[in-house]
Structure formats: C-alpha cells, structure tokens
Structure 1
Amino acid sequence: MELGFGSYGFGFLAGLLSTLSPCVLPLVPVLLGSATSMHPRAPLALAGGLAISYATIGTLLAWAGTALSIDTGVFRLLGATTLALLGVVLLSGSLQQRFATATSGLSAAGSSLISLAQPDGLWGQFAIGLMLGVVWSPCVGPTLGAAVVLASQGSHLPQAALLMGVFGIGAALPVVALAYVSRGAMVKMRGNLMRAGKTGKIAMGVIMVAVAGLMLSGTDKAMEAWLVDHSPAWLTALTTRF
C-alpha cells in the first residue's frame, strides 16, 4: 500500500494529540521551565529529542510488523482490527487509563533512566527528550499505535520512517510552541489545550474505526484509486516518492 498525503496528515494529527494527552500536557510546563533555566534553546533540543525518539520507536515497531513476513491479506486484516481496537480505546477515557496502567512497566524503566541523566546543556536536554519518548509511550499508546499500524501498511520502510517522523514533529510542535509563551499564558492555555486534545482524540477514534471498516470491506482501495486518478500529478508524485 502506498501512503498518501492523507496518511501523513493523520500521522501529524496523532502526534499532536499525543502531547495534548492529560497525562503529558500538565508535565510540559515543568519540563520547559527546567530546560529554559539550562539554556535559552534547550526547549528546542528537548523537543528534537522527543520527536526523534517517537520516530525511532514507531519505525522499529512498524518494521517489526512487516518483517514477520505475514501474508499480505492476513497482515491487512490484523492491521485493520488493531486500528479499530485502538479507535475504541480513544473513545473511552477509562480504557485509555487501563491501557496506560497495563504498559506502566515501560514508563517506569524510562523514568529510571531520566533520573540518572545529566540535564545540563543542550545535549543533556536532547537526551531527556529521547528518554521522554519511552516514558510517555504507554500514555500515548493509542495514538502512537494508530500511527504505527498505518505506517506498517506502507510498501517500503522509508515510507514508514517518514510517517513516524511526521508523527514525531506533530508531538514536538506543542512543546516548542509552549516554550515561547509566558508562564501565565501557558497556564491559561493548558485547560483549553487539554479540552481540544480530548475532543480531538474522540474525533480520531471515530475516524480510526471508520478507516478500519473501509479496510476490512476493501472500500479503501477503491477510494485510493479514485484519489490517485483525480489528484494533480505533482501531488501524487510527492506523496508516493518514497
């Protein structure tokens, strides 16, 4: 399956909603306050490490899924089913909490690594960002998992890596944006951002369940062919280059 513009847009939105999660967003001001005290550009290093961490974790998971050499039809069925289940999780706050609890061991291991890290300077904050990708993965598991499932449907590994890179950029963007607003504005914005994240997760959950239904019925193939036929040549070339 060739990943088109819509797939990358979905990956970006999933990354954005990951950072707007209730278990992540409240921690961002604290991390940014600490980072800024180290170096004026430390938040950028922190966000860069976070983006690379998510992109690496997601690419490895997507590669592992395709490396199993499962029959294409079976792999597609498993991917659609997983996407539907993750969509249902996003529609329920309690299910998201249970998901985070079930995968808390990974988060605890990442927290231990962060406690040993030396946060001084840009490289220290970059390392903290790398570790945050591990620490926050259980909490953002549904959105990260959705991006991984979509990436694993790509025909080539570079496509999966690009989509997960876009996911990482989406996750890092709110960190960068919040780093350069005043503390007072950050506190005022946090409530609105959390509500937007909650609404966005519900919308994404609905989309994921719908996409899973299209994949299971085969309708997505017909839609993909129609979009390719009616898209400008430059857009088709851009979104299928890798």
Structure 2
Amino acid sequence: MQEVSIWFAFFAGVLSFFSPCVFPLLPAYVSHLTGGRVEEGRLKVERSLVLTRSVGFILGFSIIFIIMGASASFLGEMFTAYRFYIEQIAGILIILFGLQMIGWINLSFLMKDTRKFNTSKKGTSFGSFLLGMAFASGWSPCVGFTLSSILLLAGSTSTLTQGIFLLVIYSLGLAIPFIMISFSLTKTVSVMGKLNKILPKLNVINGLLMIILGFLVMSGKMQQISAYLATYNLFF
C-alpha cells in the first residue's frame, strides 16, 4: 500500500494548499509573516525574508502534522488484529470526506473552524513557526477532510515509521507550492487572480480522488496495486 499512499499523500498536500480558504489568504499570510505590503501590483519585501519566514511556517505545521501521523500509526499498531475492520471504517470515512468536499453531502459538524489569525503585527521567525503550528491545529474546514484521510491511511499502515512518513510527504506537498507562490508574489500578485478561478475544480478533483481512495482501502486493492507497481518499478 505504501507506494500508492505516498503519491496520494503528496498530491493531497498540494490540493490542500489550493483549497478555497487557504490559497486566497496567502498574500495576508506572507504579509503577516514578513511585514511586507502590496504596492504597485506586487508584494514589496526582501525575498530572503520570504524564504526564512516561509520555512519557519512550514516547519511549524509539519511538526503538528507529523505528531498527528505518529499518533494515528501508534493506535493502528495497537489494533493490528482488527486491521480489516479499521480499513473498512477508514474507507467509509474517506469516502464521506470526499463527498463533503465535492458538495454532494453536507455534514455541518465537520465544518467547525477553530483557527485564529491576526494580521495586525509583523511576524518574526519564531512567530512564523508558531503560526504554522496554529494553522495545522485549527484550520480544519480547509485541510481537515484531506488531512483526515491521510491520518486514516497512517492508522492503517503496518509500522509507525510508515505512518509518520506519509505525513512528512503530505507536509511536503503543502510546502512546495506555498514557497513557490510566496516568491511569485514578490513579482506580481496577478497570479492569485488567475489561480483563484480554478479552485472549485481542484476541490472537485480532490474530492473524487478521496472517494476513489476510500473504495480502494475498503476493497483491499491498495496492497495489490502497490505490489504491481513495485514489481514493474513504476515508482521508485
């Protein structure tokens, strides 16, 4: 199951970044982290500062995500004898998350928002780190469905290391576009308007991928697909 899960975790991280209530707020995040401001169609700030503050933010949310993955994997190891039932439950939940993301169902209790975000003060390196941790802990409506799916996968892996690795890959998928778009803002903010137009489509793609993944987990096909890919060296 590992090879398929790795790629799903990475693309899930990328799609989480482009969720409708994370991506549009990126200029506010970068402005807060660096103390820069938008003038003449671009964010005026030193690019080196963008890099250091972005890295701090990424480390902050990565640590929280990894801790979540370790906890899920630990629980999964404790219930190894019930792995079949865990996979069935995980598959059903992942499918529900996908349906919710597409908009085919509406489970209001999944939309609770606990984030706190203040743009009134200039950020610091340590503040960027703390803001990253706060982002990971409280931005549940935006990344919660996708993240929960990765955590469910982590809980169904055979070892603690595999579960942690999935969350590292998920964090990497979220981090790469964050840095790339942050740097692009120092040249022009017009990229935000162009990408905003495709966000609803990305949300649907994310939801469909989660539904497919849920059925694969429930059917046990994940292991078969991974074995096939490993046999023909189609991944690593």
Q: Which category of TM-score, normalised to the shorter sequence, fits these structures?
A: 0.7 to 0.9
More helix by share: 1
SS of 2:35's equivalent? Answer: helix
Structure 2 residue aligned with 1:21 = 19
Structure 2 residue aligned with 1:7 = 5
1:198-240, Cα deviation, whole Å (9 max, x unpaired): 32332232232223323333444433332232227x93xxxxx
Residues 1:194 and 2:196 are matched in the alignment? yes
Structure 2 residue aligned with 1:239 = none
Of 213, 216, 219, which residue of structure 2 is paired with 1:217? 219
One-letter amino acid of the counterpart of residue 171, structure 1: L
Of 74, 90, 97, which residue of structure 2 is paired with 1:79? 90
TM-score norm. by structure 1 comes to: 0.77
Once residues 129 and 218 of structure 2 are traced to their aligned partners in structure 1, the CA distance between those partners, rounded to angstroms, is 41
Of 148, 156, 167, which residue of structure 2 is paired with 1:145? 148
Structure 1 residue aligned with 2:229 = 227
Structure 1 residue runs without a partner (length 5+): 236-242
- Percentage of pairs with the same residue: 23
Contact 2:10–2:172 (Cα < 8 Å) also in 1: yes
Structure 2 residue aligned with 1:35 = 33
SS of 1:180's equivalent? Answer: helix
Once residues 198 and 63 of structure 1 are traced to their aligned partners in structure 2, the CA distance between those partners, rounded to angstroms, is 35
Contact 1:119–1:128 (Cα < 8 Å) also in 2: no
Of 36, 51, 72, which residue of structure 1 is paired with 2:62? 51
Once residues 80 and 182 of structure 1 are traced to their aligned partners in structure 2, the CA distance between those partners, rounded to angstroms, is 39
Once residues 199 and 75 of structure 2 are traced to their aligned partners in structure 1, the CA distance between those partners, rounded to angstroms, is 29
Contact 1:47–1:176 (Cα < 8 Å) also in 2: no
Once residues 136 and 36 of structure 1 are traced to their aligned partners in structure 2, the CA distance between those partners, rounded to angstroms, is 21
Once residues 13 and 156 of structure 1 are traced to their aligned partners in structure 2, the CA distance between those partners, rounded to angstroms, is 22
Q: Structure 1 residues 89 and 8, CA, compared in 2 at 3 Å: closer, same or farther?
A: same
Structure 2 residue aligned with 1:157 = 160
SS of 1:22's equivalent? Answer: coil
Contact 2:57–2:131 (Cα < 8 Å) also in 1: yes
One-letter amino acid of the counterpart of residue 190, structure 1: M
TM-score norm. by structure 2 comes to: 0.79
Contact 1:54–1:168 (Cα < 8 Å) also in 2: yes
Matched pairs, number:
221
* CA-atom RMSD in angstroms: 2.8
Structure 2 residue runs without a partner (length 5+): 37-47
